[in-house]
Structure 1
């Protein structure tokens, strides 16, 4: 009994003494921060791939955005964080129980933030079915994996470019469909798996295959800050946080609350956002002139522009909204020419200026 109390005390202390670096305290890296904010406003954008130098705050920023989000309502003790009313975010068992008139108890939890380790196996990611129990007792027993824990949250894969392509494919399929299906020996189990997929990596260690990279909604590129004053500011903020985390968190409390409220309002406003036909035509014209394969670029740019407009409290998308997001949505979808000297982001901006502003650069 004493051991249990000690363990409980240690667990509670860990939860109270581990504050997360405030999102609003992060200096610079505006492109990465914007991509993360837009994805939590509209998870259907399809996640974000963040590529950049080592030590540029990728992991810190991703954990900070998760800590910023409001709590979500779930069916209590559910393994998949099922939504109490949205059937697309609810396990089949709970859906059936509600249809049968069974009342459910709900509770609120923090938005799940799940880290996927590089050495994870497919069973660890997708979950496993106990075949022996199913055959001998006729009971379908499922051990949930990381995809189940990440439902309605954020799934973060550091060094995603080093992850096995097969696992990346599974993650992208689940993120796109919102469901994970596990089949073993003729037994099938499925559960909701709608999450924001965030991958990060260092381009020096290799790129993802183009067909996998294309399936990430956005691609943010970050670089080491060169300005000496800005570097000093970043170092000082990190030092202050390490010396007194609670004080650092408290000093940014108002900024955090303001941004949290802004994101919540944007999520509610999103369904009301409209984008004129002329602007949609121009988005597709940019994609066509850039020779972007498929239609993912068109779809994601439309979604991201709507999310950006809602974040700024407007119900109609304008060309300025599109200019803010189009590079994030298209730069990783361009065909790479080994002899091309122009940066892919510059190429997107050049064509955008030509199509939207009728200016030649």
Structure 2
């Protein structure tokens, strides 16, 4: 399954209502791919999938390469073209991992990733971590390939979790909750209904304005991506990253590194070349919340006001 053409109607990114945390994490992962992808978790019907698709469309003009839940390992890793093989000719066929790396958005999207076979999840996350794909099985061997893409997954925790080892491989996690404000819910209804009514129109001012806003956002993110190499972390900021991860009893050290890389991207998005402890504080939940779990069920302990207070108390004096 490859990315789809631009004729597929998708709500413009600028018309999304709410979704602030998920949108921020997607933008950060795009600006700095070293962050390592995004996991969006939330109940059904909260527009997780819509947000990912419209982000990919805004960035690249196409939907993301999508891995279906029932995909075989041949489809994921690559195999042989079946029609050619039946004719006695062995012609290799790229899998979804390579397709994602070559796609305009460089995104592999897995909806309901917690329902995907653990074997495939392990393979995908290993490739994401190393950037290398090596296939050697069933008569097919190939040289190591450099495969770089952002893995974006969604899941409904009510349908089961991911093992802590797998959760840790996602750079950032965004918790998506239903909008409780009646005015926000009304905006969602009005926006979707108007989009449905005008999406086929070639002269809709409403959609023209939204597409112009998407173009501006894409340009801003590309500017941030170009600025990223100039963004630095001061000593106070690095110390804060380490102290925060230690105080939250984060398992392993990947969280500390992701937090620092994500903070660089956030600073670049804001147009500054210096990361401050406040950048780190804003991303603590997204980078560290899912790395506190040691429960094999994969449930993530809730992030509460106590964690926010702890993050505030650890701020260096220079950031107060």
TM-score normalised per structure 1: 0.77
Query: Are the counterparts in 2 of residues 111 and 154 from structure 1 also a CA contact under 8 Å?
Result: no
Alignment of 1:49-88 (within 5 A): 49-70=39-60
- Which residue does the alignment assign to 1:312? 270
- Which residue does the alignment assign to 1:105? none
- Which residue does the alignment assign to 1:119? 70
Q: Measure the CA separation in 1 of the matches of 2:197 and 2:305.
A: 41
- Which sections of structure 2, spanning at least 5 residues, go unmatched? none
Q: Measure the CA separation in 1 of the matches of 2:16 and 2:276.
A: 28
Q: Measure the CA separation in 2 of the matches of 1:282 and 1:34.
A: 21
Alignment of 1:217-296 (within 5 A): 217-245=171-199, 246=201, 247=204, 248-296=206-254
Alignment of 1:1-361 (within 5 A): 15=5, 17-70=7-60, 113-128=64-79, 141-152=91-102, 153-184=106-137, 185=139, 187-245=141-199, 246=201, 247=204, 248-335=206-293, 343-344=302-303, 346-356=305-315
Q: Measure the CA separation in 2 of the matches of 1:335 and 1:179.
A: 28
TM superposition shift of 1:130: 7.6
Number of residue pairs aligned between Structure 1 and Structure 2 = 301
- Which residue does the alignment assign to 1:106? none
Query: Are the counterparts in 1 of residues 76 and 95 from structure 2 also a CA contact under 8 Å?
Result: yes
Relative to structure 1, is the Cα distance of residues 318 and 256 closer, same or farther in structure 2, using a 3 angstrom cutoff? same
Q: Measure the CA separation in 1 of the matches of 2:287 and 2:244.
A: 12
TM superposition shift of 1:253: 2.4
Relative to structure 1, is the Cα distance of residues 125 and 347 closer, same or farther in structure 2, using a 3 angstrom cutoff? farther
Relative to structure 1, is the Cα distance of residues 342 and 210 closer, same or farther in structure 2, using a 3 angstrom cutoff? closer
Decide which structure has the larger Cα Rg and report it: 1
TM superposition shift of 1:294: 1.2
Query: Are the counterparts in 2 of residues 41 and 307 from structure 1 also a CA contact under 8 Å?
Result: yes
TM-score normalised per structure 2: 0.87
Query: Are the counterparts in 2 of residues 128 and 144 from structure 1 also a CA contact under 8 Å?
Result: yes
Cα shift readout 1:30-89 (whole Å, capped 9, x = no counterpart): 00110101011111101011000111111111011111115xxxxxxxxxxxxxxxxxxx
Q: Measure the CA separation in 1 of the matches of 2:274 and 2:165.
A: 32
TM superposition shift of 1:212: 0.4
TM superposition shift of 1:299: 0.4
Q: Measure the CA separation in 2 of the matches of 1:236 and 1:148.
A: 39
Cα shift readout 1:220-267 (whole Å, capped 9, x = no counterpart): 101111111110110110011111115343131231122111101001
Query: Are the counterparts in 1 of residues 259 and 287 from structure 2 also a CA contact under 8 Å?
Result: yes
Query: Are the counterparts in 1 of residues 5 and 63 from structure 2 also a CA contact under 8 Å?
Result: no
Cα shift readout 1:302-346 (whole Å, capped 9, x = no counterpart): 0000000000100000122112212100000013589x9972254
The 3-state SS of whatever aligns with 1:123 is: helix
Cα shift readout 1:120-153 (whole Å, capped 9, x = no counterpart): 011110001589x99xx9x984210101110051
The 3-state SS of whatever aligns with 1:252 is: helix
Q: Measure the CA separation in 2 of the matches of 1:278 and 1:43.
A: 24
Q: Measure the CA separation in 1 of the matches of 2:118 and 2:197.
A: 40
Query: Are the counterparts in 2 of residues 128 and 182 from structure 1 also a CA contact under 8 Å?
Result: no
Relative to structure 1, is the Cα distance of residues 42 and 341 closer, same or farther in structure 2, using a 3 angstrom cutoff? closer
Query: Are the counterparts in 1 of residues 236 and 277 from structure 2 also a CA contact under 8 Å?
Result: no
Cα shift readout 1:162-209 (whole Å, capped 9, x = no counterpart): 111111111111112222111024733433321110100111001101
Relative to structure 1, is the Cα distance of residues 16 and 158 closer, same or farther in structure 2, using a 3 angstrom cutoff? closer
Query: Are the counterparts in 2 of residues 112 and 151 from structure 1 also a CA contact under 8 Å?
Result: no
